[in-house]
């Protein structure tokens, strides 16, 4: 009886190099073709009507937009099925809707897209002459909006160099309570290209705050607010203009009165 022949485990290693290369190449090609077919099948299945987006749910802050308005603006920019929709592109589509600051888009099985919205909250108008219709959010962001949609008719106006809105908003928030002690509200705050600050109050009075760091400008304004009544009470006239750009005090003009220069009050309020 003839015995079976046993192949040594290293027999394959004895194959010529070109044969082994052909075998490896064939295996790789077979694997790639199989993966390609699987991908095509998945892509085809993902586009079936069964996987279409059936609904879009809007959540979050929609105080200034109706759901119908949001959908009318965003839906034409969306494409794809439940599985193929580009969530980043969908996010940009919803963030292009007026008043929308941020959108978070996610899938919800079996066929729903959920959109969480955050709207801008305006705290000031942006007053560049060539940028009418722009507002400033509580984060210092300048955004486009219909000013007719703003309920607050007393938003202050910020006017300054490009990209200075965050800096100006920070200054506004520090100046507002100081002016409130004078029974006044800031109508506008201006920052020149050279870094000089100016305030216009709701009474029409203007105050030149000058240049310097935020702390220096606030310190000058604090001294002014603390001593103004000592000067204005002598004449019982409202403030028309003040210039705080003096090292040893300030220059003051009251409505209907032209004054000369006198010694500063005890708190170093300065000239009037």
3-state SS of the chain is: CCCCCCCCHHHHHHCCHHHHHHHHHHHHHHHHHHHHHHHHHHHHHHCCHHHCCCEEEEEECCCCCCHHHHHHHHHHHCCCCCCCCCHHHHHHHHHCCCCEEEEEEEEECCCEEEEEEEECCEEEEECCCCCCCEEEECCCCEEECCHHHCCCCCCCEEECCCCCHHHHHHHHHHHHHHHHCCCCCEEEEEECCCCCEEEEECCCCEEEEECCCHHHHHHHHHHHHHHHHHHHCCCCCCEEEEEEEECCEEEEEECCECCCCCCCCCCCCCCC
Which residue in this structure is represented by tokens 């003839």? 2
What are the tens digits of pLDDT across the range 46-57? 454 545 888 999
Greater confidence (116 vs 21) lies with 116
* Band of residue 259 on the pLDDT scale cut at 50, 70, 90: low
* Band of residue 223 on the pLDDT scale cut at 50, 70, 90: very high
For the chain, give the percent of residues with pLDDT over 70: 79
pLDDT over 90 (residue 8) = no
pLDDT over 80 (residue 263) = no
CB 252 within 8 Å of CB 265: no
* Band of residue 61 on the pLDDT scale cut at 50, 70, 90: confident
Range 126-129 contact pairs with CB under 8 angstroms and sequence separation of 24 or more: 126/157, 126/158, 126/159, 126/165, 127/157, 127/158, 127/159, 127/188, 128/159
**Sign of torsion over alpha carbons 62, 66, 70, 75:** positive
Say what the pLDDT of residue 198 is. Answer: 98
What does the alpha-carbon distance between residue 143 and residue 156 come to, in Å, rounded to a whole number? Answer: 15
Say what the pLDDT of residue 270 is. Answer: 43
Greater confidence (208 vs 43) lies with 208
What does the alpha-carbon distance between residue 243 and residue 253 come to, in Å, rounded to a whole number? Answer: 9
CATH 3.40.50.11690 fits 122-254, yes or no: yes
pLDDT (average), residues 118-135: 82
pLDDT over 70 (residue 62) = yes
pLDDT (average), residues 112-137: 86
Least confident of 54-58, 76-80, 262-266: 262-266
Domain 52-119: homologous superfamily in CATH: membrane protein fhac (3.10.20.310)
* Band of residue 160 on the pLDDT scale cut at 50, 70, 90: very high
For the chain, the structural domain boundaries read 52-119, 122-254
């Amino acid at each position: 009886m003839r015995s079976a022949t046993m192949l040594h485990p290293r027999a394959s290693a004895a194959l010529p190099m070109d044969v082994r290369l052909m075998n490896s190449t064939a295996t790789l090609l077979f694997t790639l073709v199989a993966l390609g077919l699987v991908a095509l099948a998945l892509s085809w299945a993902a586009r079936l009507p069964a996987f279409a987006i059936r609904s879009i749910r809007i959540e979050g802050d929609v105080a200034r937009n109706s759901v119908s308005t949001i959908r009318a603006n965003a839906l034409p920019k969306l494409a794809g099925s439940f599985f193929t929709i580009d969530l980043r592109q969908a996010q940009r589509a919803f963030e292009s809707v007026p008043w929308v600051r941020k959108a978070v888009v996610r899938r919800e099985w079996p066929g729903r897209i959920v959109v969480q919205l955050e709207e801008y909250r305006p705290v000031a108008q942006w007053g560049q002459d060539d940028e009418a219709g722009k507002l400033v959010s509580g984060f210092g962001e300048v955004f486009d909006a219909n000013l007719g949609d703003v309920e607050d008719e007393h938003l202050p106006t910020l006017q300054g160099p490009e990209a200075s809105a965050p800096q100006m908003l920070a200054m506004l928030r520090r100046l507002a309570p100081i002016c409130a002690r004078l029974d006044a509200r800031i109508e506008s705050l201006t920052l020149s290209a050279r870094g000089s600050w100016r305030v216009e109050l709701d009474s029409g009075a203007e105050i030149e705050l000058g240049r310097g760091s935020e702390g220096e400008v606030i310190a000058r304004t604090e001294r002014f607010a603390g001593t103004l009544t000592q000067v204005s009470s002598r004449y019982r006239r409202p403030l028309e203009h003040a210039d705080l750009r003096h090292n040893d005090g300030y220059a003051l003009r009251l409505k209907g009165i032209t004054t000369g220069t006198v010694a500063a009050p005890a708190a170093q309020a300065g000239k009037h």
